[in-house]
Structure 1
Amino acid sequence: MASASRAKIEINSELLAHAHVSKAWPFEEARKVLSRIKRIPQPTGPIIFETGYGPSGLPHIGTFGEVARTTMVRHAFRVLTEDKVPTRLICFSDDMDGLRKVPDNIPNKEMVTQHLGKPLTQVPDPFGEHPSFGQHNNARLKAFLDTFGFEYEFLSATECYASGRFDATLLKVLEHYEEIRDVILPTLGPERRATYSPFLPISPATGKVLQVPIIDRDLAAGTVLYKDPDTGKLTQVPVTRGHCKLQWKADWAMRWAALGVDYEMAGKDLIDSVRLSGRICRILGRQQPEGFNYELFLDENGEKISKSRGNGLTIEEWLTYASPESLALYMFQSPKKAKRLYFDVIPRAVDEYVGHLAAYPKEEWSARLMNAVWHIHKGTPPEAELPISFALLLNLASASNSEDAEVLWGFIRRYAPDATPEGHPLLDELVAYAIRYFHDFVKPAKRYRAPTDKERVALTDLDARLGALPEKILAEEIQGEVYAVGKEHGFEPLRDWFSALYEVLLGQTQGPRFGSFVELYGIPETRALIGKALAGDLVA
């Protein structure tokens, strides 16, 4: 089990007053939990927040999003209760689930195929790093959560079942077997209804998770009887100590009841499952957790992201090109709105994070509690003043075709003479991210084109006007000259002129505010770039 020490939080009367009325979604969710414990006369133990993980594929970014969002709700709850009510965050892995299909994005698929149907913790690790595939994926998840600094406890379904932690609640499931079946059966087709049982025995012969009809039950002995499909023999096994697991809707409810879960959010595709599991949880004598249903992430084609298909960004991929905080911002924003999640969203997320960070010190308390950085940094966002944006850094790298950090810092110092990597560590991180992003995404996609006759005349005019400007001219004045050239040469709409600048000079369809770019890149360097474009060197 992995956990982090519980950090103390600072709460003052002004913060508390605004928190109780804040419309930020983590506070709205935390107030649900607060209302819940007021309905429970004498709650025992800490308030339990839970997130679930199905480790049938490699951990993906949606899993991180659920932990990050739940952490934000947990922190908001701690503020509302003045940190007087103990809380726990459990990250639960359903690693006893049977492997239904081999993921597309793993090695040694043929070896894994031989173990289809077995619990994930009984499938050998195709990467050769851990005792099982389930443990490999659990380790991947925990490593990232630890890196990010989440306070959580990791629980494995395999360990909870095998250790007896779930035994008492599993016996309650056996006791209420028919009631639980009556909840699920109306949702199934005729063929599935004929064989459905909440219990899935683990075959002693093959080790597979079996979806078979239960012939008989013995409540006193705590066992079920079934016919093994591989051996043809009638087999009796206990429902406890890992000899059976539950079908997942019943399993989810059993887990809520056994662990005393108070809050768990889930994807919009699980709305019906939450409702059914809630009914089963009540049959088992517990109220279902509070929570909400978040929208799913889509890939760049608008299709749902799938762990097994690997068609979305991985955690590692995002962190190659941007900070964990920018990812947390992406998760904070509009959780009930479907969002596309692919590489092109990264630069905007970085700049939005930096913008929120810069705005925070100037805001009143009500605005601060709506600001994502307050929730990302648990109420204490760092100070950060950045002289330039991440988008502008990317365009500097693009225009100079440089992957050298010193070159980019040379441009930065021209704009902010006192800026240094040591004095601006966040900016230095962004320089490194910008270089990686440029190398992997911008550079391979650069497609310069020759200017049209009309654009050639306008570029020649722009070059002359830039040459007539004084050295210490501000970006707004440069932008004014760029606008004037576009208007005088009849570009209508004017964005066609800027599109031409980006496509001809930078080899891309979009770009920065051009005046800001010229101020940072330098007038002589920009004129040299125009000269290369007019001579055909960039296309060549």
Structure 2
Amino acid sequence: MSDLRDLAMQSKAWPFEEARKLLKRVQGKTPEKGYVLFETGYGPSGLPHIGTFGEVARTTMVRRAFETISDIPTKLLCFSDDMDGLRKVPTNVPNREALAEDLNLPLTDVRDPFGTHDSFGAHNNARLCAFLDSFGFEYEFASSTEYYRAGRFDEMLLKALAEYEKIMEIMLPTLGAERQATYSPFLPVSPKTGHVLQVPTLERNVEKGTIVYEEPDGERVEVPVTGGNVKMQWKPDWAMRWAALGVDYEMSGKDLIDSVTQAKKICRALGKPAPETLTYELFNDELGQKISKSKGNGLSMEEWLTYASPESLSLFMFQKPKTAKRLFFDVIPKAVDEYHQHLRAFPDQDDKARLTNPAWHIHAGQPPQSDMVVPFAMLLNLASASSAEDKDAMWGFINKYAPDASPETHPGLDAAAGYAVRYYHDFVKPAKQFRAPTEQETAALLDLRERLGQWTGPLDAEELQSMVFAVGKEHGFEPLRDWFKAIYEVLLGASQGPRFGGFIALYGLPETMALIDRGLDGSLRTEA
């Protein structure tokens, strides 16, 4: 075993902890199917969202960690529950009237309201695959409809029929009295209407592999449970899929804890070991309320990617998956800068430290070099001070600070400059509140301006920061952070901001002096 593998076996990074659980599950040997199977599930009645990204990204992190501690082949299956019946018409699609006519059909039999695919399920599956491909995930796509209709679940469906009573014993105590009276783990697909029916099972014939149910018109119908003639209720379906495919690992949100518990029991009732699972916490909005797709609170995938890179989102997903976190716009700048801090730290770390560095897990052990010579928080303040309308304006300042940088040589910085301008205009600018300086602050700012005018040294961030410190001390600010708070509130319209020496180096001496003039004469407050 290599030194890296030895270190990985001891690493406390959560993907390695999960990987070691999985290695223990398979007893260090390749399963009979020839690989360790990771799975993520997807309900294709809606479009991929930030939770979809998080689940696939985190599962991929565990997969790569497992591949580091083991030579056992792996596979990631992204499974679409596209045989589910359409229970309600989504509000965000065209041609809703036509879709209403297809209620209760499997999603793969519902017409595509966008008119681009054979069905609504196929449309959303294509969106899912395009979504995953855009982030470079390595996966195999699976369609529930295809698996059911091709007979890939037949053996386990017959086993479920044989173990019907055990499944009912597991499920019925979890249901209310009204649901108990009509519940069946099997949902027949009506040969008359094609609808996925939620009706009781009236008879079972294990030898024939059939069930009998009653159609809405009163006719009793016998159908085989194989060949796509039935679909299982979702908790038994989840368990049946685990058992049929030999799923070894799947993670899910805290809201599915009960579902995981029941599915594991059913999987064992079907004679197969349940997979290793991880329960992750759900995201909250800025008010601490759980994010809901129907409410539309919190932050969407598209919104994050409007203001920051996907790698920064991967970092957010990596950090403390078992801890509830606020997912709102104000977490983005911190995530961007932390991501690049991890990239910059990586080259100088030993192997043990690298294995705990989030950059290792985001990039499967091969993180790129950071080209962010200016932190994202500083770019935001630069956009604010210069009222930048586009990233070209930002580069005029960046080149004074880093003359060798360009959009071609620093594409990450170039993208970040564009993100910063958008973020500034949408979130920072509307919240800016400039105030007038006190007498003490006015005297200190005039002193700072005079020293900047007399500055003959290089635009070194640390030397300029020391000079700003000295001004604050000489003018009696106690604690000294009140001096910096005054700078931010008077000159930048915020109560906190960047290291001001670095800001001066980036923005420029004449520009900073002009900014002080505008802060002192009240024009910043007038413009705001």
TM-score greater than 0.5 by the shorter chain: yes
Separation in structure 1 between the aligned mates of residue 30 and residue 148 of structure 2, nearest angstrom: 30
- Out of 372, 392, 399, the position equivalent to 1:406 is 392
- CA separation of 1:483/1:208 partners in 2, compared to 1, >3 Å: closer, same or farther? farther
The residue number in structure 2 matching 1:4 is: none
Helix, strand or coil for the counterpart of 2:77? Answer: strand
Cα distance in 1 for residues equivalent to 2:89 and 2:31: 47
Q: CA deviation at 1:385?
A: 4.4
| Distance in 1 between residues matched to 2:148 and 2:422, nearest whole Å | 44
User: Aligned with 1:186: secondary structure?
Assistant: helix
Aligned to 2:212, the other structure's residue is in SS state: strand
Q: Deviations over 1:360-397 (max 9, x none)?
A: 01001110000111111111112234321111112111
Instruction: Please say if 1:517 is aligned against 2:503.
Output: yes
- For 2:449 and 2:103, locate their aligned partners in 1 and report how far apart those are by CA, in whole Å: 66
Q: Which residue of 1 aligns with 2:51?
A: 62
Q: Deviations over 1:23-48 (max 9, x none)?
A: 11111111111111118796332111
Residue 208 of structure 1 is aligned with which of 186, 195, 201?
195
TM-score by length of 1: 0.91
Whether 1:152 aligns to 2:139 is yes
Q: 1:248/1:481 Cα in 2 relative to 1: closer, same or farther (>3 Å)?
A: same
Stretch deviating more after TM superposition (93-102 or 112-121): 112-121
What are structure 1's unaligned runs of at least 5 residues?
A: 1-11
Partner of 1:347: 333
Taking the TM superposition and a 5 Å limit, the aligned residue runs for 1:287-326 are 287-326=273-312
Q: What is the SS of the residue equivalent to 1:31? A: helix
> Aligned pair in 2 of structure 1 residues 42, 478: CA closer, same or farther (>3 Å)?
closer
Q: Does 2:253 correspond to 1:260?
A: no
- How far, CA to CA, are the matches of 1:527 and 1:107 in structure 2? 55
More displaced stretch, 150-159 vs 450-459 = 450-459
Aligned residue for 1:29, secondary structure, equals helix
Q: Which amino acid counterpart does residue 152 of structure 2 have in structure 1?
A: R
Identify the residue that residue 161 of structure 2 maps to in structure 1: 174
Q: CA deviation at 1:454?
A: 5.3
- CA-to-aligned-CA distance 1:49-72 (integer Å, 9 cap, x gap): 111112232211111111111111
Q: Does 1:22 align with 2:11?
A: yes
2:66 aligns with 77
**Are 2:365 and 1:376 equivalent residues in the alignment?**
no
- Asked if structure 1 preserves the Cα contact closer than 8 Å seen for 2:48 and 2:131, the reply is no
1:505 equivalenced with 2:491 (yes/no): yes
Query: Match of 1:6?
Result: none
Conserved 8 A contact 1:104-1:308: no
* Contact kept? 1:198, 1:247, Cα under 8 Å: yes
Question: Which position in structure 2 is the counterpart of 1:460?
Answer: 446
Specify the SS of the correspondent of 1:122. coil
Deviation for aligned residue 1:88: 0.8
Alignment partner, residue 9 of structure 1: none
Partner of 1:36: 25
Structure 2 segments unaligned to the other structure (5+ residues): none
1:204 Cα offset (Å): 3.4
TM, length-normalised to structure 2: 0.93
Alignment match, 1:51 = 40
Q: Write the distance in 2 (CA, Å) between the matches of 1:245 and 1:470.
A: 78
Query: Does the C-alpha gap of structure 1 residues 354 and 192 become closer, same or farther in structure 2, counting only changes over 3 Å?
Result: same
CA contact (8 A) 1:58 1:308 kept: no
Deviations 1:72-103 (A, max 9, x none): 1111111111x3x2211100111222233344
Maintained 8 Å contact 1:105/1:309:
no
Cα distance in 1 between the residues matched to 2:312 and 2:221: 53
Offset of residue 485 of structure 1: 4.3
- Answer yes or no: is the 8 Å Cα contact 1:105–1:310 preserved in 2: no
Indicate if the aligned counterparts of 1:60 and 1:313 stay in contact, CA closer than 8 A: no
Counterpart residue identity of residue 387, structure 1: V
Match for 1:526: what amino acid?
Answer: T
Aligned to 2:403: 417
1:197 and 2:184 correspond: yes
> How far, CA to CA, are the matches of 2:296 and 2:113 in structure 1?
16
How far the C-alpha of 1:498 sits from its partner, in A, is 3.1
Q: Could you say which residue in structure 2 is the equivalent of 1:439?
A: 425
Is residue 2:108 matched to residue 1:121? yes
Amino acid at match of 2:47: L
Q: Deviations over 1:314-363 (max 9, x none)?
A: 32322222222111111111111111112221111111111101100100
User: Residues of 2 paired with 1:117 and 1:483: CA distance?
Assistant: 69
CA RMSD of aligned residues (A): 2.3
Secondary structure of the structure 2 residue equivalent to 1:131? coil
Alignment correspondent of 1:3: none
Is the CA contact 1:99–1:118 (under 8 Å) kept in the aligned structure 2? yes
How do 1:213-228 and structure 2 match up within 5 A?
A: 213-228=200-215
The structural deviation recorded for 1:143 is 0.9
Amino acid corresponding to residue 53 of structure 2 in structure 1: F
Measured against aligned partners, the alpha-carbon deviations of 1:113-150 in whole angstroms (never above 9, x if no partner) come to 44433322233334443333322322222112111111
Which is further off, 206-215 or 482-491? 482-491
Are positions 1:538 and 2:524 aligned together?
A: yes
One-letter code aligned to 2:157:
L
Partner residue, 2:262: 276
| Distance in 2 separating the partners of 1:41 and 1:523 | 64
Q: CA 1:117 to 1:507, structure 2 compared with 1: closer, same or farther past 3 Å? A: farther
Contact 2:371 2:411 in 1 (8 A): no
Give the structure 1 partner of residue 343 of structure 2.
357
CA distance in 2, matches of 1:377, 1:307: 29
**Change in CA separation of 1:357 and 1:477 when aligned onto 2, cut-off 3 Å:** same
Query: How has the CA–CA distance of structure 1 residues 39 and 397 changed in structure 2, closer, same or farther, with 3 Å as cutoff?
Result: closer
Q: How far apart are the structure 2 equivalents of 1:375 and 1:410?
A: 35
Code of the residue aligned with 2:392 in structure 1: it is E
CA-to-aligned-CA distance 1:154-204 (integer Å, 9 cap, x gap) = 001111112221111111111111110001111111111111110112233
Provide the rounded CA distance (Å) in 2 between the counterparts of 1:235 and 1:344.
57
Work out the CA distance in 2 between the residues paired with 1:402 and 1:15. 47
In structure 2, distance between residues paired with 1:336 and 1:298: 13
CA distance in 2, matches of 1:42, 1:321: 43
- Partner of 2:207, secondary structure, is coil
Match of 1:76, as an amino acid? Answer: A
Q: What CA distance in whole angstroms lies between the structure 2 residues aligned with 1:55 and 1:382? A: 34
Structure 2 counterpart of 1:480, from 455, 459, 466: 466
Structure 1 residues 500, 232: CA separation in 2 closer, same or farther (over 3 Å shift)?
farther
Instruction: Name the CA shift for 1:274/1:388 in 2 (closer, same or farther; >3 Å).
Output: same
